Amino acid sequence: MIEEVSSGGVVIFGNTILLLKKFNGDWVLPKGRVEKNESIKDAALREVLEESGVKAEVVRYIGMVHYKYKNLKEDEMVYKTVHWYLMKTNSMDCTPQKKKGLLMLYLFI
């Protein structure tokens, strides 16, 4: 079994939350893999910026989730841990990262 660790953010601006809509229609929060020698906090901030163009700051650690999925390329099960941070931002200026299949960004009340 492969183990992966990711980190991401629940980003708020006033009374809105940042969500990303993928090309397939799925709604996701920005997150991604933690790189070698990177803290989970730094990874969360980097992934939010890379995927949305939003510069955020961490308010606090929220917690983690665990799940399994099958990696079709490797034909192996992956045990994934995702760490989540509550974040805030001072700007709604967003630019989706289209190369990762992100179509657009939405802020919901």
Q: Where are the domains of the chain?
A: 2-108
* Beta carbons of 40 and 5 less than 8 angstroms apart: yes
Q: Which helix (H) or strand (E) holds 3?
A: strand 2-13
**Interatomic CA distance for residues 14 and 41, integer angstroms:** 22
Helices (H) and strands (E) in the chain, counts: 1, 7
* pTM, to two decimals: 0.85
Q: Which helix (H) or strand (E) holds 41?
A: helix 40-52
Q: What is the CATH code of the structural domain delimited by 2-108?
A: 3.90.79.10
Q: What is the pLDDT of residues 7-57, one digit of tens each?
A: 999 999 888 888 888 778 888 999 999 999 999 999 999 999 998 889 999
